[in-house]
Amino acid sequence: MNGVRTTSGKQHEPLGKLFAKLPKRALSRVGVVDVGSNSIRLVVFDGAARSPAYFYNEKVMAGLGAEMASTGKLNPKGVERGFAALSRFAALAKGMDIEPLTCVATAAVREAEDGPAFQQRVERETGLKLLVIDGEEEARLSAQGVLLGWPEASGLVCDIGGNSMELAEVANGKVGRRVTSPLGPFRLQQVKGGKDGLRKHIRKIVSELAEKMGTEHERIYLVGGSWRAIARLDMERTGYPMTVLHEYRMTPEAVQDTVDFISASDLSEIRSSVSISASRMELVPLASRVLSELVSVFKPEDLAVSSYGIREGLLYEHMSDALRKRDPLIEAARFSERQMARIPGSGRKLYDFLQPIYDDVPPERDRLIKAACLLHDTTWRAHPDYRAEACFDNVTRANMAALSHPERVFLGVSLLHRYKNNRNNSPMARLFSLLDDDELRDAEILGKAMRFGAMFAIDDPADAGTLKYKRADKILRLHLTDMGRRLMGEVAVARFKSLCNAMKVEPDIID
């Protein structure tokens, strides 16, 4: 069946009505169901339109495509599990007043002999209309999901499912060449000839993919549950301090080491410690063989895990160009401030107040400073004894796009120091290792700058004074207004001096 073909900037039924409000900053709740060969997932998006949050997320490992390579039909047990899941999802959507619920079906339903019958039964008994897309459309939507999370993504997107694996190029905010292949683990289970036959089969197909897609891609973006499971095992193997999978990076050497680790391990023993389901873990050894061959043939400089795929790609499909150009991190931070800060809008004023300190920082640091200022007051409801740790935990685990792991920790440390003068004996200390000493110092300075500026005035620090940073003389000067003189109590003085001490400059207060 042909895919749902769409072009940027146009609205097409049945998706057009669903995403009609996306150009606005706030996103009305949007529900998407992804019916894959192995799993069926419902996601309800909410929050910032450019950086949607997951209001609801549920997955069922139905296994629709299990044994399909040998029978040509959907797995009967998977059909019943899938139908039960879709019936539940339809009821949940109705309860959340999400209509219509967009449902996309991929390899299993499009290739099985009884796929159309399953499609018709679902629509007849649940009211859900499955949009069956072809392999190239699946590749395109997955690639657009990566672009939603990484606006500057450049490389090759590789999306693995149960019965297929898709590749797509991304660069300059666009999706280029794309191709589908039969390299899903369910299909590989049916390959004859033992380990040697399997190795030759995978190598042949990957070599054909390389001829079509080229091998000049510096980065491979990994989409799909099997890739995420392998990345989680890589974290376990290396003792990586953070368990957020999105934007986790692996070198080709690390991938090969983890493939060897998987081959040599009793995966049933480590499965529970890494929270991977038995049905997912069953497919990991085969997926790891594919990944090993991909690395060997395509020779990327690194690989990055994406938690965003087809579902997010559907959202990106219907974003205006103006919305796509917004920074997902800043949009998410703005939304959080509007929802949770005591004085929404104060974050931008705090950012402006601190600009004399940061007038020469590069853009990649400036966006972190802006995000920190927008988030500086969003955990005020937490108990004062735990507010600093709550700030750190929230930002390092938050579902935010366009934010690398070191950047997460930088934001976390800066927000920790927004509420706490030091980080001694912090329970988050393991994660600090993702930053070098200079980055830790810069995050501490930003936190102490926000700590001072946030209490220096009720609304806008500029009403109380202005900063002037004389780098050559190593002096941070604070010019007070009449209001500032009244507000500059002993706590404010102490916090200003703490900031200057972190910056290794002399404080100069002019009233």
Token reading at 467: 């900063």
Averaged pLDDT, 293-316: 96
CA–CA dist 451, 414 (Å, integer):
10
pLDDT tens readout for residues 395-428 = 998 888 899 999 999 999 999 999 999 999 899 9
pLDDT value of residue 497: 97
Q: What number of CA atoms fall less than 13 Å from residue 386's CA on the CB side?
A: 6
Pairing of the two strands 40-48 and 249-250? unpaired
Is the per-residue pLDDT at 82 higher than 70?
Answer: yes
The widest CA-to-CA distance across the chain, in whole angstroms, is: 84
CA atoms within 13 A on the CB side of 110: 21
Helix, strand, coil content of the chain in percent (nearest 5) = 50, 15, 30
- Which of 347, 345, 354 lies closest to 465, judged by CA? 354
* Mean pLDDT computed over 386-400: 89
Spatial separation of the C-alpha atoms in residues 233 and 407, rounded to whole Å: 22
Measured between alpha carbons, how far is 254 from 238 in angstroms, rounded to an integer?
9
In contact, 284 and 229? CB cutoff 8 Å: yes
Q: What is the pLDDT of residues 450-476, one digit of tens each?
A: 999 998 887 899 999 999 999 999 999
47 Cα distance to chain centroid: 15
- Give the mean pLDDT of 119-128: 95
| pLDDT at 4 > cutoff 50 | no
Mean pLDDT of the region 138-142: 96
Could you report the per-residue pLDDT of 363-378, keeping only the tens digit for each? Answer: 999 999 999 999 999 9
Q: Is the pLDDT of residue 198 over 60?
A: yes
Tens of pLDDT, residue by residue over 20-50, are 545 567 777 889 999 999 999 999 999 888 9
- If you average pLDDT over every residue of the chain, what do you get? 92
Instruction: List the structure tokens of 136.
Output: 């190239």
Specify the 3-state DSSP secondary structure of 269: helix
- Report residue 105's pLDDT band, with 50, 70 and 90 as the boundaries: very high
Distance, in Å, from the CA atom of 356 to the CA atom of 453, rounded to the nearest integer, reads 13
Domains and CATH numbers, the chain: 17-133 (3.30.420.40), 136-311 (3.30.420.150), 327-509 (1.10.3210.10)
Residues 128 and 319: their CA atoms lie apart, in Å, by 24
